[in-house]
């Protein structure tokens, strides 16, 4: 008998549907405040995750007081689809929000019965806020790929009614890159900048002055992020809220570097996740279950004692309503600005399977934002043009792609050795590909429907006009890249 979508979502292979739950007794008697601290463009490059190149004492403190998750993944490696999934608990591919910065002006609405999670919090009496007016250094970011009315009630939890529980998003810009045309502008005026000679970028970048300087700038931005996280934690303590507030810290997707952001390798989809739940999660604990960031939506509702909708694809992974651990997590990338692409991936704790729907296209298709903003991206192109490197040295330079990629992330964490053609890995390949096929079918992946070509054309015109001046400024600074 054919498996129904509802049955599929209830299994460990699927996105999971959060079970109906009334929440724990503690939450019902005394509702928990929920604070999401969301960093832009952050991989687990933190000292509490083992990095020796950057010190993040405030984030480390949060990890010491809560649980650190080592297998957390986003559903998309770029901000707007990822955040659209976060705020709904649904895959962006299920709700038509999968193309980056889409549906901003065309009136597109979420398909019924999908709602924002803030609607459910508000219905339960919570004050919902996007903090950007309290001096914490956060910003007013929503970035949803659909029409929405009032996602938040305010911008400072101090504005709520006395004793009212609240759900807060604190969106921190760092370590997102600064605006072009200065590609080095990760941070401005940071004290004691990281010495580029003392860092080692990932192996899939050139190990030269350009890449080291670029990597050092990213680490400086992580340091600034840590300072801002410290402000949030201090504010919670100042307001005497720590003992009844669940703090969730994570990145909206991976680091803003070539092959990471906008791609489905772990540098683009693996993020840090730290949760402090006083009296409920063991301080300093480390957990390795697979978590998708859409699970944060369902789990946060459940921990607040709010019934989780049956349709929701996120699944509860903490508390009384905890569901079985995931067997797989799934991720998708579609058009980003003027760059048309479609990539899908499935990952278990060890293996990653990637499917490229445009194998005839280069990984480094034209994307003006990246060319202008990413020094290492441009350096790769320059080195290839000079004949100093080829795609054999850096496969990311390839003008075509394999239809399938398979990586053993335990043996090959940088995902450099594609095992899709290995005779000894065909059973794993088949298993992973089948899991992805089922996910596409049962979640109704809207990427199966081609986007109107006029949209990409409009983006092409827009980006060409936007970056004409930036290219000119960049060309005048070429000496800085040599």
Give per-residue pLDDT as tens, 336-359: 999 999 999 999 999 999 999 999
Residue 350 shares a structural domain with residue 253: no
Residue 73 DSSP class: E
Best CA proximity match to 313, nearest among 445, 409, 416: 445
The pLDDT of residue 420 is above 90: yes
CB 128 within 8 A of CB 152: yes
Q: What is the mean pLDDT of residues 171-199?
A: 83
pLDDT tier for residue 137 given thresholds of 50, 70 and 90: confident
Residue 183 shares a structural domain with residue 253: yes
Looking only at the bridges linking them, the beta strands covering 270-276 and 245-251 are antiparallel
Residue 472 lies in a domain: yes
Residue 363: both structure tokens together = 């990984």
CB 337 within 8 A of CB 100: yes
- Domain housing 200: 8-321
Residue 3 lies in a domain: no
pLDDT digits (tens, 9 = 90+) for 227-249: 999 999 999 999 999 999 999 99
Residue 333 lies in a domain: no
Residue 365 lies in a domain: yes
Looking only at the bridges linking them, the beta strands covering 343-347 and 351-356 are antiparallel
Residue 337 lies in a domain: no
Residue 101 lies in a domain: yes
Supply φ then ψ for residue 201, to 5 degrees.
Answer: -65, 160
Final residue before a domain boundary, out of 256, 291, 321: 321
> So what's the pLDDT on residue 469?
83
pLDDT digits (tens, 9 = 90+) for 252-283: 999 999 999 999 999 999 999 999 999 999 99
> So what's the pLDDT on residue 135?
87
Cβ neighbors of 103 (< 8 A, separation 6 or more) are 96, 97, 145, 146, 147
Final residue before a domain boundary, out of 269, 289, 321: 321
- When mean pLDDT is compared across 11-15, 45-49, 416-420, the lowest value belongs to 11-15
Residue 382 shares a structural domain with residue 473: yes
Which residues lie across from 292 on neighbouring strands? 73
The pLDDT of residue 183 is above 80: no
Residue 418 shares a structural domain with residue 371: yes
Q: What is the mean pLDDT of residues 16-29?
A: 39
Best CA proximity match to 306, nearest among 126, 124, 167, 90: 124
Residue 27 lies in a domain: yes
The pLDDT of residue 308 is above 80: yes
Residue 177 lies in a domain: yes
CB 251 within 8 A of CB 40: yes
CB 137 within 8 A of CB 172: yes
> So what's the pLDDT on residue 24?
40
pTM score: 0.93
> So what's the pLDDT on residue 478?
61
Final residue before a domain boundary, out of 255, 290, 321: 321
Cβ neighbors of 203 (< 8 A, separation 6 or more) are 414, 416
Residue 73 shares a structural domain with residue 218: yes
Angle at 455 between CA 258 and CA 173, to 5 degrees: 40
CATH number at residue 16: 3.40.720.10
Residue 298 shares a structural domain with residue 363: no
Cβ neighbors of 145 (< 8 A, separation 6 or more) are 80, 81, 84, 92, 96, 97, 98, 99, 100, 101, 102, 103, 104, 108
Residue 66 shares a structural domain with residue 164: yes
Buried b (16+ CB within 10 A) or exposed e, 263-272: bbbbbbbbbb
Residue 355 shares a structural domain with residue 312: no
Residue 106 shares a structural domain with residue 214: yes
Cβ neighbors of 362 (< 8 A, separation 6 or more) are 397, 398, 399, 400, 401
Which residues lie across from 285 on neighbouring strands? 67
Residue 184 shares a structural domain with residue 136: yes
pLDDT digits (tens, 9 = 90+) for 139-172: 999 999 999 989 999 999 999 999 999 999 999 9
The pLDDT of residue 27 is above 80: no
Residue that the structure tokens 């509860």 belong to: 316
Number of domains in the chain: 2
Residue 351 shares a structural domain with residue 250: no
User: According to the 3-state scheme, what is the secondary structure of 224-239?
Assistant: HHHHHHHHHHHHHHHC
Residue 228 shares a structural domain with residue 354: no
Residue that the structure tokens 């957390």 belong to: 72
């Amino acid at each position: 008998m054919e498996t129904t979508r509802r049955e599929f979502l209830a299994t460990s292979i699927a996105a999971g549907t959060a079970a109906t739950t009334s929440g724990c007794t503690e939450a019902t008697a005394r509702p928990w405040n929920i604070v999401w601290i969301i960093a832009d463009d952050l991989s687990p490059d933190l000292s509490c995750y083992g990095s020796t190149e950057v010190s993040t004492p405030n984030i480390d403190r949060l990890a010491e007081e809560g649980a650190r998750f080592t297998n957390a993944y986003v559903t998309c490696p770029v901000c707007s689809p990822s955040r659209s999934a976060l705020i709904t608990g649904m895959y962006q591919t299920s709700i038509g929000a999968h193309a980056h910065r889409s549906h901003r002006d065309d009136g597109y609405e979420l398909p019924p019965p999908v709602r924002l999670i803030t609607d459910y919090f508000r219905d339960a009496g919570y004050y919902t806020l996007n903090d950007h007016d309290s001096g914490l250094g956060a910003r007013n970011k929503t970035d949803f790929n659909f029409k929405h009315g009032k996602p938040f009630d305010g911008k400072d939890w101090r504005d709520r009614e006395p004793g009212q529980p609240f759900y807060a998003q604190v969106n921190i810009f760092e370590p997102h890159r600064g605006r072009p045309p200065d590609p080095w502008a990760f941070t401005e005026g940071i004290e004691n900048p990281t010495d580029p000679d003392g860092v080692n970028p990932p192996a899939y970048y050139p190990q030269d002055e350009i890449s080291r300087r670029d990597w050092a700038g990213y680490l400086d931005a992580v340091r600034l992020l840590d300072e801002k996280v410290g402000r949030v934690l201090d504010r919670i303590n100042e307001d005497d809220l720590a003992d009844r507030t669940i703090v969730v810290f994570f990145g909206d997707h991976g680091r803003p570097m070539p092959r990471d952001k906008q791609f489905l390798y772990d540098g683009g989809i693996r993020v840090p996740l730290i949760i402090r739940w006083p009296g409920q999660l063991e301080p300093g604990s480390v957990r390795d279950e697979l978590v998708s960031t859409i699970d944060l939506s369902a789990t946060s509702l459940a921990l607040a004692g709010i019934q989780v909708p049956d349709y929701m694809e996120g699944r509860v992974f903490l508390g009384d309503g905890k569901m079985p651990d995931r067997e797989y997590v799934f991720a998708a990338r579609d058009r980003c600005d003027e760059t048309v692409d479609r990539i899908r991936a499935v990952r278990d704790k060890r293996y990653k399977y990637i499917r490229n729907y445009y194998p005839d296209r280069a990984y480094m298709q034209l994307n003006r934002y990246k060319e202008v903003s990413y020094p290492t991206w441009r350096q790769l192109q320059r080195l290839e043009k000079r004949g100093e490197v080829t795609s054999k040295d850096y496969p990311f330079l390839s003008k075509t792609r394999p239809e399938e990629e398979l990586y053993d992330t335990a043996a090959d964490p940088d995902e450099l050795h594609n095992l899709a053609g290995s005779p000894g890995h065909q059973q794993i390949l088949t298993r992973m590909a089948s899991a992805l096929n089922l996910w596409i079918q049962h979640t109704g992946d809207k990427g199966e429907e081609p986007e109107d070509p006029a949209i990409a054309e409009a983006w092409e015109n827009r980006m060409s006009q936007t970056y004409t001046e930036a290219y000119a400024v960049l060309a005048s600074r070429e000496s800085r890249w040599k």
